[in-house]
Amino acid sequence: MKKAILAAGAVIFLSLSALAQETPKGEVFGGYSYFRGDGGANLHGWNGSITGNLNRWFGVTADFSGHYNSGSSNVAVNIPQIPLFTTSVDANSNIHNFLFGGTFSHRGSETLVPFAHALAGFSRSHVDGTAVTNVLGGTSVTSFSGSDTAFAAAFGGGLDVKLNKKFAFRVVQADYLLTRFGRGTQSNARISTGIVFRFGEK
């Protein structure tokens, strides 16, 4: 009887271990993302990635994200009843990141999968808008546009919660995202959340 109980216990333990060690061949993530720029800018957008798992703890990742913002500002210099100078600026900005690297995952639990990654690639920023200036009743309209591409790298990680065999919920992915536009280095933050589609089995 004891041997039967021990044998049943061993089967259950091995089954649970197998579940805990289940590794998909690939994982595709997509969801909402928030970007906090070095200068204090707040941009909202998306983040997506695909990871090919080479074994149960390491995979190769391609990560892409886009973040967007729009705003306006106004300046006026007047004396009573006489507008001397007014200007208004409407601008749209965005930043897209294209990153590649490795992801390290810990699959010791059937449900929870914490991970960390190190990624590098490039970032492309773009801004365009219109400035309207009025000086003593004379109005001029100026359009502007500019883009730049720079080295970028991201270091961070997060936590996935397995929903079923095919899907998981990425509770959070938090990254320190470094960019090198101009002659300086910018320290940015990126936080993402969304759904992970898991396919195949190692």
* Domains of the chain and any CATH numbers: 2-199 (2.40.160.20)
Mean pLDDT of 177-196: 97
Q: Could you list the beta-strand ranges (E) of 80-137.
A: 82-105, 112-135
Alpha-carbon separation of residue 173 from 11, 90, 199 (angstroms):
36, 32, 20
Chain segment 47-82, per-residue pLDDT in tens: 999 999 999 999 999 999 999 998 776 665 666 666
Supply the pLDDT for residue 87. 76
Chain segment 12-26, per-residue pLDDT in tens: 333 444 445 489 999
Q: Select the more confidently predicted residue: 160 or 18.
A: 160
Q: Which residues, in sequence order, are CB contacts of 60 under 8 Å at separation 6+?
A: 51, 52, 54, 100, 101, 102, 103
The span from the CA of 120 to the CA of 103, in Å, is 12
Q: Name which of 128-132, 137-141, 197-201 the model is least confident about.
A: 137-141
Supply the pLDDT for residue 5. 39
Q: Is the pLDDT of residue 124 over 60?
A: yes
Q: Is the pLDDT of residue 30 over 50?
A: yes
Supply the pLDDT for residue 3. 46
Mean pLDDT of 152-167: 96
What SS3 state is found at 54?
coil
Torsion of CA 105, 108, 110, 111, to 10 degrees: -50
Chain segment 102-118, per-residue pLDDT in tens: 999 999 999 999 999 99
Question: Chain-wide mean pLDDT for the chain?
Answer: 86
Mean pLDDT of 27-31: 98
Q: Select the more confidently predicted residue: 71 or 83.
A: 71
The span from the CA of 71 to the CA of 69, in Å, is 7
Nearest Cα to Cα of residue 111 among 4, 2, 9, 16? 16
